[in-house]
């Protein structure tokens, strides 16, 4: 009974026990009463029989007892015996019924206990399930709270990215508008710079040429300053760099922030120099021929080789070569061809410095992606301006060149130091060029091709 915890079940169990005890007590009292009555009746019969025998003995001498009295006594004894037998049978029947009732009650109690144990087991299992569900519910509630928290952070981060993207889109649109304006201004500038235009060649205003060149140089400097990673990091590569690229990244890894900015600035201008400024451009890179316009003819390279061959002629052919170049450029401009060289050069620069971005910001994919897009816009813009500048210079009969001083060459009058680095020997002489940040702008007049006029000095870093 001590295992029963349910108050209702315990009450039912106690009630059954009380009923069994009550029936047991009643049957005991009935048995005792019948036994007492039986004993009294037996004593009375014995007493009456004794009195009858004694009376018969005292009166036998006087008179003969009547036979009817003896029969009456016998009849009474027989009746009493019958009553006693009936009482015994009744007591036995009652006892048997009591035992059956007790057995039935015990059976019901046993069945009830079995059911109760089953219910108790089910209750324990149910409680265990409830506990498991409660624990699971607590875990889910904690997960929901974490998700709500992360959702709030994600929404906040998304809002920042959306705002940043809107700003970048606005800047990109403004830059595209500015690029369009610059292209229009460049076209207009060709006319403004021409003192006697036409296909005979342009006489350029050197001051305006210098300002255009300085604008390109300043844009490269701003890009290097803005996008050069400021925090130290370890460079890793999907493919190991070789040659000049390996040397560049070795210098990069060993330098401080100012040196790294200078190296990035120098590398950007070096690629622009190689791909645009010093090339013999005719604007025919994307010239196609054929009825469908899908067969590319490498006319640009052929014209380049032809001009190189003309320049290798004996002295005195400079004027004829300049006339041919100016007329060819004029005719090529009539085709109004789109040119992809600026875009390809910008992509080349971005691919060259890509390890700097992927290694410096590995856990900031969204922010890094936005910066890379911004960098791409600025690089394409400066490369487009550099291409227009190069085409403008080539449309002149005079020869304009962007010349990069060689590394470790002596500092000359055409170079201007911008920064100093310690030499490998530990001494600083300010006499040797470590590397160039921007080339010099030099003019060779058609009237005196050997005369070298320095319009703008090269910006260099010295030891």
* More reliable by pLDDT, 365 or 422: 422
Quick: pLDDT tens for 163-198: 777 777 777 677 666 666 665 555 555 554 444 444
Q: Is residue 143's pLDDT more than 80?
A: yes
**Cα–Cα distance, 175 to 349 (Å, whole number):** 19
- 237 and 107, same structural domain? no
**Cα–Cα distance, 414 to 443 (Å, whole number):** 12
Question: Looking at the domain assignment, is residue 54 inside a domain?
Answer: no
Range scoring the smallest mean pLDDT among 89-93, 120-124, 375-379, 425-429: 425-429
Question: Looking at the domain assignment, is residue 9 inside a domain?
Answer: no
Q: What pLDDT shows up at residue 194?
A: 44
> Does the predicted model carry a pTM greater than 0.85?
no
Q: Is residue 199's pLDDT more than 50?
A: no
Quick: pLDDT tens for 97-110: 878 888 887 888 88
Q: What pLDDT shows up at residue 98?
A: 79
What share of the chain has pLDDT > 90, as a percent?
A: 27
Which of 364, 379, 395 is where one domain is finished?
A: 395
- 409 and 386, same structural domain? no
Domain range for 411: 398-462
Which of 395, 427, 453 is where one domain is finished?
A: 395
Q: Do the bridges between strand 415-420 and strand 288-289 make them parallel or antiparallel, or are there none, so unpaired?
A: unpaired
Highest mean pLDDT of the ranges 13-27, 80-94, 272-286, 420-434 = 272-286
Question: Looking at the domain assignment, is residue 72 inside a domain?
Answer: no
Question: Looking at the domain assignment, is residue 208 inside a domain?
Answer: no
Quick: pLDDT tens for 10-34: 777 787 778 777 777 777 787 777 7
Answer for the pair 223, 266: CB distance below 8 angstroms, yes or no.
no
- 293 and 422, same structural domain? no
Q: Domain tally for the chain? A: 3
- 369 and 251, same structural domain? yes
Q: What pLDDT shows up at residue 182?
A: 61
Answer for the pair 213, 441: CB distance below 8 angstroms, yes or no.
yes
**Cα–Cα distance, 92 to 97 (Å, whole number):** 8
**Cα–Cα distance, 319 to 321 (Å, whole number):** 5
Closest to 70 (Cα-Cα) out of 85, 59, 83: 59
Angle between helical axes of 365-394 and 206-227 (0-180°, round to 10): 170
- 390 and 403, same structural domain? no
**Cα–Cα distance, 461 to 421 (Å, whole number):** 7
Distances in whole angstroms, Cα of residue 353 to Cα of each of 160, 217, 305, 349, 460: 27, 19, 31, 7, 21
Question: Looking at the domain assignment, is residue 150 inside a domain?
Answer: yes
Question: Looking at the domain assignment, is residue 329 inside a domain?
Answer: yes
Q: What pLDDT shows up at residue 237?
A: 64
Quick: pLDDT tens for 280-295: 999 888 886 654 445 5
Distances in whole angstroms, Cα of residue 205 to Cα of each of 94, 193, 452: 142, 6, 17
Token output for 419? 């920064």
- 282 and 371, same structural domain? yes
- 253 and 159, same structural domain? no
């Amino acid at each position: 009974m001590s295992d029963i915890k349910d108050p209702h079940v315990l009450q039912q169990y106690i009630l059954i026990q009380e009923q069994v005890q009550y029936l047991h007590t009643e049957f005991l009292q009935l048995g005792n009463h019948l036994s007492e009555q039986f004993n009294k009746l037996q004593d009375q019969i014995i007493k009456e029989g004794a009195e009858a025998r004694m009376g018969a003995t005292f009166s036998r001498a006087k008179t003969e007892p009547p036979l009817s009295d003896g029969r009456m006594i016998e009849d009474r004894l027989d009746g009493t015996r019958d009553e006693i037998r009936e009482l015994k049978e009744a007591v036995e029947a009652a006892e048997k019924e009591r035992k059956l009732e007790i057995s039935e009650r015990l059976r019901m109690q046993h069945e009830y206990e079995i059911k109760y144990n089953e219910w108790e087991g089910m209750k324990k299992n149910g409680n265990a399930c409830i506990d498991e569900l409660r624990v699971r519910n607590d875990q889910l509630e904690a997960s929901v709270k974490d998700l709500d928290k992360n959702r709030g952070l994600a929404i906040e981060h998304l809002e920042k990215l959306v705002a940043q993207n809107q700003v970048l889109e606005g800047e990109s649109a403004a830059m595209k508008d500015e690029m369009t304006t610059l292209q229009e201004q460049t076209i207009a500038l060709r006319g403004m710079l021409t003192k006697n235009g036409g296909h005979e060649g342009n006489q350029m205003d050197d001051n305006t040429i210098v300002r255009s060149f300085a604008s390109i140089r300043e844009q490269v400097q701003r890009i290097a300053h803005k996008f050069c990673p400021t925090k130290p990091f370890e460079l890793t590569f999907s493919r190991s760099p070789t040659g000049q690229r390996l040397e560049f990244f070795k210098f990069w890894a060993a330098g401080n922030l100012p040196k790294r900015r200078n190296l990035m600035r120098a590398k950007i201008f070096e690629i622009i120099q190689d791909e645009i400024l010093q090339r013999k451009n005719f604007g025919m890179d994307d010239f196609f021929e054929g009825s469908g316009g899908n067969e590319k003819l490498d006319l640009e390279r052929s014209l380049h080789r032809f001009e190189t061959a003309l320049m290798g002629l004996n002295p005195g052919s400079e004027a004829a070569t300049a006339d041919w170049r100016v007329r060819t450029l004029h005719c090529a401009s009539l085709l109004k061809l789109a040119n992809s060289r600026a875009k390809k050069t910008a992509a080349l620069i971005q691919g060259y410095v890509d390890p700097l971005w992927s290694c410096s910001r590995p856990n900031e994919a969204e922010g890094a992606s936005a910066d890379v897009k911004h960098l791409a816009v600025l690089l394409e813009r400066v490369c487009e301006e550099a291409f227009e500048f190069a085409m403008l210079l080539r449309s002149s009969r005079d020869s304009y060149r962007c010349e990069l001083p060689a590394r470790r060459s002596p500092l000359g009058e055409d170079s201007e130091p911008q920064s100093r680095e310690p030499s490998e020997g530990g001494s600083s002489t300010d006499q040797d060029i470590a590397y160039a940040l921007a080339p010099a702008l030099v003019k060779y007049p058609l009237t005196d091709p050997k005369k070298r006029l320095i319009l703008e000095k090269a910006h260099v870093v010295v030891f």
